[in-house]
Structure formats: C-alpha cells, structure tokens
Amino acid sequence: MRKYVIFMSLIILTGIVISGCVNNEKKEENVLTVYAAYGGMDKIAKAFEKDTGIKIKYISMSSGEVLARLEAERNNPSCDVWFGGGIDAFIKAKEEGLLMQYNSPNTKYIDKRFVDKDHYWTGVSIVTVGLLVNEKRLKEKGLPEPKTWDDLIKPIYKGEIIASNPTTSGTAYFTVCGILQMKGEKDGWAYLDKLYENTPFLTKRGSTPGRLVMSGEFAIGICPDPHIAVMKNKDLPIKAIYLDKVIWWPSPVAIVKNCKHPEAAKKFVDWVLSKRGQEVLMEADPRVPVRSDIKPVEGVPNPKELDFINMDFIYWSKKRDEILKEWEERYQNIITK
C-alpha cells in the first residue's frame, strides 16, 4: 500500500512539474524581446500588447550595434525581432545568416520594392530624402522654390544649400547613391560637382541641415523626412518639398534566426504590417508608411503620391567603400562642420 501511495505521489508530482513547464512556456511566449532603432517604441509596445496580449521588452540601439550583437549571439540569440534601422545592416545580416525567413500575409498589400525578395526582412516605413526650405529666407533672397533635382544645381542657389557628408552620415551616403542611381554614375558625379558648388560646407550629421534651415541660416536643406520637422515646428516659416524623384530606403523589421519566440515574432511582423499597426507606427513616429491603402496622419505623405526611384540597395551596399573613396578624392577640399 505504501509503495502504491509513493508511486501515485510521484506521478502527481511529475504531472505538476510538466504542467508548470508548459504554463511557463506559454507565459514566456507572451513576451517578445526586440532590438529597436525606431522612434516611439513605448507607444508601439503598449498598442501591440493591448491588441495581442504579448508584452514587448525592447532595447534601443543603432543598426551597427544590433548587427554586432547578433553576430556575437549567433548561436544563442537573446532577442526575437530586429525593428528599424539602416537597410545596409539588414542586408549584411541576411548575408551572414542571422535572420529567419518569414513572408507575412500582409506583404501582399505592400509594394514589392519595400520587401526583400527572399523575405528575410520587410519594410515597415520609408525614410525619404527631400528638402526643408525656409520660406522667409527664400522670399528675402528672391528665390523660387526648387521643384526638381536639376533646380538645385542652378547658380541662383549658390551659398543657400546645406547638405551632410556621406563619410559621416548614413543619410548622406544613400542620398549620394540615389543621385548616382538616378543620373547614372558618370553623370551623377558630374551633378554632384555642381551641387557642391552651391554648398558652402557640409555637416557631419544628416539631421543638421534641417536644423540650420529652421534657424534661418540657409534657405534649403537636403535632409531625411523633412515633413516631420514641419509637423513638429508649425510656428516656423518652413516647408517640406519632395522633388520630381524621391530618394528613399526602407526601415525594416526582421525575425532573428533561432530566436526563442518565433510565433510571437511572426505576430509582431504581421501586426506592424497591418492597417492597425501602420496607423500606430505613424502616430508614434510619423514616417511615410509602406501601405498606401490607409489614410496617413496629417502632414505625412501617402507613398502613392511620391515618385520613388528604383534603388538597388544590394549594389550600393557592396560598393560603399568604393563610392566613399571616390567621394573623398573628389571633394577632399570641402569643409565639414
């Protein structure tokens, strides 16, 4: 009898342990760890948890930091999702086998240009290069608003354009690549020769040209997402202009290979690409969305209104060292502040 009692006790205890493990696994599946290079993460995490019941633990870091950490954690990753950052870093991660393939059902609503052809990453928003102009300064100088890229190399704008240095700014590097893509490399370099004649100096950071335009020091700044500056500074005489062709790159999301919570990670990808998720992302950080079937937040352009150039990101990522070497040889005398 005693042996029977001991035997049954062991069975019950084993059941409790197994049940506890299963419950812990289910509980853990409701937690998602994200490496993020995206604005407004508190709002995004709160909305995602409300909609799915999955709690997000996020760590904010740059694309380079994320890539280095994923390389170090290759065999035992501590995060599930990489959210936002530079497209060149995602391309590198894909090449190194650090990402998991996942084709969300919501990609059917997204332009193929914003989605990796092998489905290792998907754009969730678009970083756009445009102009921030100071309307007061333009009027004082008697200058018309530029409408095309070719307008920027006209002599009338000499000394009134400010841009950033591609050796120190990722925004500037992709802007240079966009011009070379748009014009062809030979004509593109010739275009840059003329553009820099109108630019008295370059800035180290991609965000600085916008600030200098807002302060009234320059009439025109080449910068990322100029509409955001207008939305945040409605009291200033500034305007966002997107030219005849728009240079752009996607801000992607990707699932980390061998992550601990792949199902929760898939739900996050599906959610940020859904109508609801895209609306939350715009409210948290008003970038251009990847879906054109939603109404953008006031001030944010709809992607179907912009004429995006066809950027070959893999080509320009591989050519980075070569392009920057050529750039430095050509423009080594330009002052950078």
Does position 65 have pLDDT exceeding 80, yes or no? yes
Give, in order, the Cα–Cα distances in Å from 143 to each of 35, 134, 138, 203, 221.
Answer: 45, 11, 5, 23, 14
Across the chain, what does the average pLDDT equal? Answer: 91
Give, in order, the Cα–Cα distances in Å from 32 to each of 35, 44, 120, 251, 278.
Answer: 10, 13, 19, 20, 19
Q: Is residue 35 part of a domain?
A: yes
Containing structural domain, residue 321: 127-248+313-331
CATH code (residue 239):
3.40.190.10
Does position 26 have pLDDT exceeding 70, yes or no? no
Q: Is residue 337 part of a domain?
A: no
Does position 313 have pLDDT exceeding 70, yes or no? yes
In tens, the pLDDT along 159-192 reads: 999 999 999 888 899 999 999 999 999 999 999 9
Q: What is the DSSP code string of 127-168? A: EEEEEEEEHHHHHHHT-PPP-SGGGGGSGGGTT-EEEE-TTT
Q: What percent of the chain has pLDDT over 70?
A: 91
Q: What is the DSSP code string of 34-88? A: EEE--TTHHHHHHHHHHHHSPEEEEEE--HHHHHHHHHHTTTS-S-SEEES--HH
What is the pLDDT confidence band of residue 2, given thresholds at 50, 70 and 90?
A: low
Q: How, if at all, do strands 238-241 and 247-256 pair?
A: unpaired
63-80: average pLDDT: 93
Res 29: pLDDT = 65
What is the pLDDT confidence band of residue 281, given thresholds at 50, 70 and 90?
A: very high
**Do 135 and 235 fall into the same domain?**
yes
Give, in order, the Cα–Cα distances in Å from 29 to each of 35, 91, 260.
Answer: 17, 28, 8
Q: Is residue 89 part of a domain?
A: yes
**Do 65 and 75 fall into the same domain?**
yes
Q: Is residue 1 part of a domain?
A: no
**Do 237 and 183 fall into the same domain?**
yes
Measured CA angle at 299 (ends 295, 304), to 5 deg: 50
217-238: average pLDDT: 96
What is the pLDDT confidence band of residue 5, given thresholds at 50, 70 and 90?
A: very low
Res 170: pLDDT = 84
Res 327: pLDDT = 97
Does position 126 have pLDDT exceeding 80, yes or no? yes
Can you tell me whether residue 296 is helix, strand or coil? coil
**Do 78 and 135 fall into the same domain?**
no
- Residue 144 CB burial class (10 angstroms; 0-12, 13-18, ≥19): exposed
Of residues 9 and 234, more confidence is placed in 234
Q: How, if at all, do strands 55-60 and 220-224 pair?
A: unpaired
- For the chain, the domain total comes to 2
Res 63: pLDDT = 84
